[in-house]
């Protein structure tokens, strides 16, 4: 497994319940901002083996990007069961449900320092 692949797997595995990340966001965090399509391939080929929460990854518009209708419904159902809400246009509000590990760490760090 390449270092980039290991990073992608680790990032996807860390997405908490009720949050989503975008393919491009994951690629950038893994060190290759233009490798969103590679993230798609890694997710497709390694989700089952690595037990990744594949359903928590969406495109930059907050849309489910899977063309297969059955898989799309599975992803939507999984996200809804975790509390993720879809807007009327079928997108997810990334401001509300997007996961930013850097922002999350800063929030935890600030909270810890204030105690």
| pLDDT tens sequence across 15-67 | 999 999 999 999 999 999 999 999 999 999 999 999 999 999 999 999 999 98
**What Cα–Cα distance (Å) separates residue 16 from each residue in 56, 58, 99, 110, 115?**
9, 14, 8, 19, 24
3-state secondary structure of 33: coil
Show the DSSP H helices in 15-68 as ranges: 23-29, 36-50
* CATH 1.10.10.10 is held by the domain 3-114: yes
Domain extents in the chain: 3-114
DSSP for 91-109, please give it: -B-HHHHB--HHHHHHHHH
Q: Tell me the average pLDDT across 71-94.
A: 96
Residue tagged 């997007």 (tokens):
98
User: What's the whole-model pTM score?
Assistant: 0.84
């Amino acid at each position: 497994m390449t270092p980039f692949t290991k990073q992608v797997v680790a990032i996807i595995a860390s997405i908490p319940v009720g949050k989503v990340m975008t393919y491009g966001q994951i690629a950038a965090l893994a060190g290759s901002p233009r490798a969103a399509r590679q993230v798609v391939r890694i997710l497709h080929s390694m989700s089952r083996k690595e037990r990744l929460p594949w359903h928590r990854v969406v495109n930059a518009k907050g849309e489910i990007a899977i063309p297969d209708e059955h898989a799309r419904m599975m992803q939507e159902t999984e996200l809804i069961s975790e509390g993720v809400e879809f807007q009327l246009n079928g997108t997810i509000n990334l401001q509300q449900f997007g996961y930013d590990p850097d922002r999350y760490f800063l929030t935890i760090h600030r909270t810890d320092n204030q105690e």
